[in-house]
Amino acid sequence: MRTIFWDDDTGTVRMIDQRRLPGALEVVSCRTHAEVAEAIRNMTIRGAPAIGAAAAFGLALAARESQAADLPGLLADLESAARTLGETRPTAVNLAWALARVLAAASRFTGPAGDLRGFVLAEAQRLADEDVEINRRMAAHGATLIDKGDTIIHHCNTGALAVVDWGTALGVIRTAHEQGKHPHVLVDETRPRLQGARLTAWELSQYGIPYEIISDSMAGFFLSTGQVQKVFFGADRIAANGDVANKIGSYMLALAAQDNGVPVYSVAPTSTVDLALEHGGLIPIEERAQEEVLGIQFDGQPVVPQGARARNPAFDITPARLVTAIVTENGIVRPPFEVNLPKFVRS
């Protein structure tokens, strides 16, 4: 099953509800672009490529919702829906990329207004299908970086749940596993939403890949004692100089890896590369509700005192100097990234 897909029978966008995993595998339906926007915002669906596909399908729903009888009116409704969808998560560039791609295709359409609705859906479906093929290509490139028997620290969730299907960094590990390299994964919990403990561990269980869950603060111990050979994580946006915005905690993990001579690999499609941003300091960082931090319980009891406050940036920036290579569908990019990244980002 894909993480997100169009249901022709109902005319809805269906997606795995990632808030319910690993306790239950449930699929929810979105009937309007506003429902898709809320699903992105509340993390029913998450992962940079996955929310890009969700945004594209959201525009397909918006086209069907529109009552406009002519092309200019329908395009205006699509642009309005794109603004609603684009405001949901600011850090992942795939969201804006997918919206821009579908809108650009729609603006070139010259047929009857009624046919534009099917055209937008076809473009969204094309984007989703391409995502699967792109992930497979990334995985093939990235698997060459994994040696037989490697122990890998993986941060956040980058498997099939973070994309339309297969995965980015976890897709690389999955491919290496299928090649008989027998990787072992130390899964960062990835606090505060625990995407690693909840989602990555669940996916690894499905694939039969051996893993152990560790708290984020344990990573330095395993790196310093020589028990880890590689670090892999994804990306939500990569600046032109190779700075990587990824789930909070990636920066500290990369620092510890560099101090211990362990290579760090970021795996992301070229749609995640934002050549318009010179460096990572220009990437907007989403700060989510403090309840995600304060709501954690231990033995059924809150872990924080009543009245406590918290900060909750969802991402941090790993400087390019800490990144050994960036794996894309077009190959493995190595420093200097400001020179080499543009060669791999093909229009």
- pLDDT tens per residue across span 293-326: 999 999 999 999 999 999 999 999 999 999 999 9
**Residue 136: which residues within 8 A CB-CB, separation 6 or more?**
166, 171
**What pLDDT is stored for residue 35 in this prediction?**
98
Taking only the tens place, the pLDDT of each residue in 129-187 is 999 999 999 999 999 999 999 999 999 999 999 999 999 999 999 999 999 999 999 99
**What pLDDT is stored for residue 346 in this prediction?**
75
pLDDT above 70 (res 347): no
Rounded CA-CA distance 45/282 in Å is 25
Q: Are residues 176 and 13 in contact, defined by beta-carbon separation less than 8 angstroms? A: no
**What pLDDT is stored for residue 127 in this prediction?**
97
- Model's pTM, two decimal places? 0.95
Beta bridge partners of 266: 233, 326
Taking only the tens place, the pLDDT of each residue in 53-75 is 999 999 999 999 999 989 999 99
Q: Are residues 191 and 217 in contact, defined by beta-carbon separation less than 8 angstroms? A: no
Q: Are residues 161 and 199 in contact, defined by beta-carbon separation less than 8 angstroms? A: yes
Q: Active-site residues: which are they?
A: 236
Q: Counting beta carbons within 10 angstroms of the beta carbon of residue 30, is it exposed (0 to 12), middle (13 to 18) or buried (19 or more)? A: buried
Mean pLDDT of 82-103: 94
Mean pLDDT of 262-270: 97
| Average pLDDT taken over every residue of the chain | 96
**What pLDDT is stored for residue 104 in this prediction?**
97
Taking only the tens place, the pLDDT of each residue in 285-300 is 999 999 999 999 999 9
- Token pair of 88 as six digits: 């949901």
pLDDT above 70 (res 101): yes
**Residues 104-111: contacts with CB under 8 Å, at least 24 apart:** 106/59, 106/63, 106/75, 106/78, 107/75, 109/71
Mean pLDDT of 216-236: 98
pLDDT above 90 (res 277): yes
Name all domains of the chain by residue range, CATH numbers in brackets: 4-136 (1.20.120.420), 140-344 (3.40.50.10470)
Beta bridge partners of 134: none
